[in-house]
Amino acid sequence: VGLGLTLTRYKIPAEDFFRGTLDYKKTTFLGGALVKYYDECRNEVGWSIGIGGKGIGFSNSSGKVDGHQGVLQ
């Protein structure tokens, strides 16, 4: 079990950020992580910073993430 904090900044409206597929690049360094999100034109559309959590390490990874958004009423 781990406890951490993640902050995310969207450079586009949230409804666009969570619509469809985005590419990401993630770098983990000790107990922190930086994730950058890109659209299909390779424009950076957001980032996340995570501190703490479970475990420590060093890594670089990339891939795709699918977003889905529903309407709250």
- Tens digits of residue pLDDT in 22-71: 999 999 998 899 999 999 899 999 999 999 877 778 999 999 988 777 76
Q: What is the DSSP letter of 61?
A: E
Half-sphere exposure of 14 (CA within 13 A, CB side): 5
Query: The pTM is what?
Result: 0.80
Q: What is the pLDDT of residue 56?
A: 79
